[in-house]
Amino acid sequence: MNSTYDTDVLVVGAGPTGLTLAASLINRGIATTIVDAQATAAHTSRAAAVNARTLEVLEGLDVTRRLVKEGVHAPRFTIRDRSRVLMNLDFSGLTTDYPYTLLIPQNVTETLLNDRLLELGGSVVRAKSLTSVVQDDDGVTARFDDGDVVRARYVVGADGIHSSVREQAGIGFHGGAYGESFILADVHLDGEKPIEEVVLFWATAGLTVVAPLPDGSYRIVAPVVDAPEEPSAAFVQQVLDERGPGAGRIVVTDVVWSSRFRIHHRVADTYRAGRLLIAGDAAHVHSPAGGQGMNLGIQDAVVLADALATVLAGGPDTTLDEYSAARRPIASGVVSLTDRLTRLATLPRGLRPIRNAAIGMAGRVPAVRQALAMRLSGLVYR
């Protein structure tokens, strides 16, 4: 087998995970090629919450200061039943330089990561779709839809939920699908809109997240049975009336962008099969309720860049197994946390007073609030 390499690491997929990984590797002087099947980057806002841990890990790439300038800083996170606060998490007491949730649309995060990649001398090769990967003792041969063949020492699938790298590596992706779809809407609001606060409303009909975005709009995320493909202002209003602080107390004036998506909760059996590795949505997917998906992917990428740099510098090969062993339980933990939040939010009406009393009591215990704030900010994974 040919042991001449075109690149040390081939990164498949230029979402937030792939961009972070490629920039981190190039920053360490590692020959890296990054490709994406799409002709242009996505323009939609999707994952809007960047947590404190992500901001900490992106410092080394010099991306954090750029993100912090562009986003809304929300130091408060409340869980509410209608307008009643069940739990008030104050992130401002967390020991970090970033004691808040940063709200910023995913396309802006990706643009800032891509800007940094360009500054470092890298660039995404588009539109180039991986069709096959075959590994041997010395490396990996990757083939693309345009007929190109690339030989790399390692290939990383940062290619999202339908990852072809994961499939071709034969890595299982177990879990299940949520029965409901999620609506995602960026809307303008009047009335009792939260300021510098992310609100998670618990209601029998389902949980609903309301969060401020930098352009003055608000992000609404809610699981809905049979949601329309592009939820209208009237539809989002109905969701907020049923689940928010009370009918008419928050008013949707217009929709900037809206979408519906279905989501699974799955974690890959392993993040490594020989010279093939996976990270981000290729390795784990779950409910967007806790705002963790993109954060986990970016954090996977930073840890994996360290591991690949160690191995490429002659360090032990087991460092890549350690990447998988360290990151996989974190994804499993996030899947169970978001599942628990979803189940608690959707308890039948008769059980709600008990739930509210229990969570109200728990919320008065500083250690409970601190533990939840540490989970949501990602600081627990330091």
Ligand X SMILES: Cc1cc2nc3c(=O)[nH]c(=O)nc-3n(C[C@H](O)[C@H](O)[C@H](O)COP(=O)(O)OP(=O)(O)OC[C@H]3O[C@@H](n4cnc5c(N)ncnc54)[C@H](O)[C@@H]3O)c2cc1C
Chain residues that interact with ligand X, rule: CB under 6 A? 12-18, 35-38, 46-48, 106, 129-130, 158-160, 164, 184, 221, 259, 261, 280-281, 288, 291-294, 297
* 94, amino acid identity: L
Q: How far is the CB of 42 from ligand X (least distance, A)?
A: 7
- Work out the number of other CB atoms within 10 angstroms of the CB of residue 329: 11
CB of 364 to ligand X, least distance (A): 29
Amino acid at the residue 28: R
Q: Who's near 329: CB < 8 A, 6+ residues apart?
A: none
Cβ nearer to ligand X, comparing 13 with 223: 13
Closer CB to ligand X, 76 or 126, in the complex:
126
CB of 302 to ligand X, least distance (A): 13
Question: CB of residue 170 vs ligand X: minimum separation in angstroms?
Answer: 16
* Residue 186 CB neighbour total at 10 angstroms: 21
Closer to ligand X by Cβ: residue 25 or 363: 25
Q: Which of 235, 234, 213 is nearest to 222 (CA)?
A: 235
Residue 275 or 363: the one with the smaller Cβ distance to ligand X is: 275
Shortest CB 255 distance to ligand X, Å = 14
Q: Which is nearer to ligand X, 7 or 106 (CB)?
A: 106
Label the pairing between strands 72-74 and 7-12.
Answer: unpaired
76 φ/ψ angles, rounded to the nearest 5 degrees: -115, 140
Rg (C-alpha) for the chain, rounded Å, is 21
DSSP state of 71: S
Q: What is the spatial distance between Cα 45 and Cα 49, in angstroms, rounded to a whole number?
A: 10
CB of 221 to ligand X, least distance (A): 5
With vertex at residue 48, the alpha carbon angle to CA 382 and CA 374, rounded to the nearest 5 degrees, is 30
If one counts every other C-beta atom within 10 angstroms of the C-beta of residue 332, the result is: 15
Closer to ligand X at the Cβ: 184 or 267? 184
Q: How far is the CB of 158 from ligand X (least distance, A)?
A: 5
Output 114 or 237, the one with its CB closest to ligand X: 114
In angstroms, the CA 207 to CA 81 distance is 10
